């Protein structure tokens, strides 16, 4: 287990959680809010539309398909059977420290030291599982104060465990048995990485605990935690909403007017609080990089997220996005708006959503259908709507259950098919590779490719109007993602290049405006508010992986359109490679896919998108070779 902890626990900082929790790409400045990003846990997502109403009252309501029970050979139990127990950080840390002391003092034979480390495997796995379970339970109901307290406990106790584990690694790497520790347990790299000492000073732990606290403050923002003032009274927003519901119980118009008023006040109060939290987070992270002796926080994040390319590679790719995608975006936006305007998007209930995907994957068969059946059989998903829930989607892995877990908060409409497909791409990869994957960038190809391939899987399973809407939504969403995530990546690279004493809301606004001008060609997104979303708050430098992965994902999709079955063949080969230690360039080369860092790749993808959406010929012609 500690071999795995080299990647799970000792990835230098808490950014490693972005690898354990793969979040969906459904936020950004080009979203449904007309260019504004709503604060977290906004109370507006619709409830599940009623199903099975009308007709014969004796007819049973539709239910989610549950496939025949089978043994998948993984030892997995149903999610509802898992019981959360608060992990005992103090006892585990004391056990680790005792082993470290025995190695430093050479007070017991190597065999006993190694046996003591192995004996901790179960406690480590259990601690990681309880951390994950606490997160899932909290995100299901963020208004539950007891769950919030547990999530705060595990997330803020985590840095001490990292520090203690690092000290054990350092002791093992410096001992006279270092080569034996490396050969028999920790694996290659132990001596090289830890012989020179660790980075987790007491000052760094304090900063990491501060970072976790700020992240939790952001996640907890909701109508139940944000206070507003009206007519001299200060209270949380839910209190005012309850009063309105009681006072105007028989006057719907008045009730809705006052509810809208209080929700608007909530929006601005939560936004202001988000801005304050984010500003302090940026300053804290820059101090973390300083404490570790690094040139910048970007250096730390690139290492932790295993981005196998340089900052200059990213900047070149963002330049190509501006050159090709930004230029044609207004035309595609107009086309998508006109097409959507003539097509009515109707509600989708969760049962229909899950069962339609079941039918599509049943037809596909093989491992991908097995993974979906496994997910349904063991209840390894939470796909619902509700204002109390985390307003997003993610997939994580529960160590003790050897199982992925999929979480989606629904919009209640057609795009939920894309969100479910995206997250199931992560689930499928984790199922096949037992929770291991090569890099974040490769993992995101797995999700974004399946999201796009769902257009071919669902074509004959949705009514024509809905499928037409989904088709345009998916491709326009891809274009918007390339731009919005490029914008967010540009903001991150700018703000984390500052010195800690330069970090102010005003300075962050200036840099956001610069990024908006560079990516969109306008200063529309001229405040840091537009860049504050779950990804940038909790997983800095994650968003650029949506760009590096979406370009090859689109290439896989267009391969499927050109030759039926070809895109899915590449996709399944990708899944098998995703569990290896291969880098993004190596995986792309093995699959015969193009590099997203080449201008020609971006040009060809832009042409393919344009042709697919509009039916017109290539917009960008290949450069004419210069005469010899």
The single residue listed with the structure tokens 């990485």 is: 193
The confidence score (pLDDT) of residue 58 equals: 46
How close are the terminal C-alpha atoms of the chain, in Å? 60
Cα 304 from Cα 10, distance rounded (Å):
9
Please give the average per-residue pLDDT across 379-383, as a whole number: 97
Higher pLDDT, 17 or 595: 595
Phi and psi angles of residue 62, each rounded to the nearest 5 degrees, phi first: -60, 145
Residue 623 has pLDDT above 70, yes or no: no
Sequence length of the chain is: 628
Q: What is the pLDDT of residues 172-219, one digit of tens each?
A: 999 999 999 999 999 888 999 899 888 888 899 999 999 999 998 998
Q: Looking at the DSSP assignment, which residues form a beta bridge with residue 398?
A: 403
Please give the average per-residue pLDDT across 473-498, as a whole number: 94
Q: Does pTM top 0.95 for this prediction?
A: no
Q: What is the pLDDT of residues 65-120, one digit of tens each?
A: 989 889 999 999 999 999 999 999 999 999 999 999 999 999 999 999 999 999 99
Structure confidence at residue 557 as a pLDDT band (50, 70, 90): very high
Higher pLDDT, 57 or 181: 181
Nearest to 554 by CA among 451, 428, 473, 421: 451
Question: What angle separates helix 505-520 from helix 311-321, to the nearest 10 degrees?
Answer: 50
Structure confidence at residue 61 as a pLDDT band (50, 70, 90): low
Please give the average per-residue pLDDT across 386-397, as a whole number: 91
Q: What is the per-residue DSSP string for 406-472?
A: EEEE--SSTTHHHHHHHHHHHHHHHHHTTT--S-HHHHHHHHHHHHHHHHHHHTTTS-HHHHHHHHH
């Amino acid at each position: 287990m500690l071999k795995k902890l080299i990647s799970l626990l000792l990835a230098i900082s808490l950014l490693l959680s972005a690898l354990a929790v793969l979040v969906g790409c459904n936020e950004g400045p080009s979203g449904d809010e007309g260019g504004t990003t709503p604060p977290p846990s906004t109370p507006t997502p619709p409830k599940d539309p009623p199903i099975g109403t009308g007709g014969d009252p004796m007819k049973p309501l539709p239910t989610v398909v549950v496939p025949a029970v089978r043994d998948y050979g993984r030892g997995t139990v149903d999610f509802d059977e898992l019981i959360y127990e608060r992990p005992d950080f103090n006892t585990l840390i004391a056990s680790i420290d005792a082993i470290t002391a025995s190695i430093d003092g050479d007070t017991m034979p190597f065999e006993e030291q190694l046996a003591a480390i192995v004996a901790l495997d179960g406690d480590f796995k259990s601690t990681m599982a309880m951390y994950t379970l606490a997160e899932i339970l909290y995100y299901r109901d963020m208004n539950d104060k007891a769950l919030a307290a547990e999530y705060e406990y595990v997330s803020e106790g985590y840095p001490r465990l990292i520090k203690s584990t690092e000290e054990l690694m350092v002791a093992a790497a410096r001992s006279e048995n270092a080569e034996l520790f490396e050969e028999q347990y920790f694996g290659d790299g132990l001596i090289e990485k830890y012989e020179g000492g660790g980075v987790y000073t007491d000052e760094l732990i304090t900063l990491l605990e501060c970072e976790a606290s700020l992240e939790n403050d952001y996640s907890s923002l909701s109508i139940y935690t944000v206070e507003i003032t009206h007519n001299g009274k200060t209270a949380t927003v839910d209190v005012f909403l309850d009063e309105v519901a009681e006072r105007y119980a028989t006057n719907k118009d008045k009730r809705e007017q006052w509810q809208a008023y209080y929700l608007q006040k909530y929006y601005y109060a939560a936004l202001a609080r988000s801005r304050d939290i984010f500003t302090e987070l940026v300053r804290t992270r820059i101090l973390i990089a300083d404490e570790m002796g690094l040139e910048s926080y970007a250096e730390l994040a690139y290492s932790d997220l295993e981005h196998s390319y340089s900052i200059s590679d990213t900047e070149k790719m963002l330049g190509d996005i501006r050159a090709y995608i930004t230029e044609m975006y207004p035309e595609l936006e107009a086309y998508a708006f006109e097409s959507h305007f003539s097509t009515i998007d109707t509600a989708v209930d969760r049962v229909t959503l899950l069962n339609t995907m079941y039918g599509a994957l049943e037809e596909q068969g093989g491992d991908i259908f097995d993974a979906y059946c496994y997910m349904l059989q063991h209840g390894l998903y939470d796909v619902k709507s509700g204002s109390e829930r985390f307003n997003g989607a993610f997939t994580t892995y529960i160590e003790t259950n050897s199982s992925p877990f999929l979480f989606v908060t629904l919009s209640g409409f057609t795009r939920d098919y894309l969100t479910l497909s995206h997250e199931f791409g992560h689930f499928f990869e984790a199922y096949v590779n037992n929770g291991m994957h090569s890099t974040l960038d490769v993992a995101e190809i797995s999700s974004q490719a399946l999201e796009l391939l769902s257009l071919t899987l669902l074509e004959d399973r949705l009514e024509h109007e809905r499928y037409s809407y989904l088709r345009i939504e998916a491709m326009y969403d891809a274009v918007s993602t390339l731009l919005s995530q490029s914008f967010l990546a540009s903001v991150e690279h700018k703000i984390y290049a500052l010195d800690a004493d330069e970090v102010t809301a005003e300075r962050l606004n200036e840099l956001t405006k610069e990024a908006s001008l560079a990516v969109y060609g306008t200063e529309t997104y001229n405040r840091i508010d537009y860049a504050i979303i779950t990804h940038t708050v909790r997983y800095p430098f994650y968003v650029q992986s949506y760009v590096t992965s979406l370009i090859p994902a689109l290439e896989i999709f267009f391969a499927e359109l050109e030759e039926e079955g070809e895109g899915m063949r590449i996709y399944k080969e990708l899944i098998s490679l995703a569990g290896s230690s291969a880098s993004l360039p190596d995986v792309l080369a093995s699959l015969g896919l193009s590099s997203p860092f080449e201008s020609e790749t971006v040009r060809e993808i832009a042409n393919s998108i344009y042709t697919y959406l509009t039916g017109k010929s290539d917009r960008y012609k290949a450069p004419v070779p210069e005469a010899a």
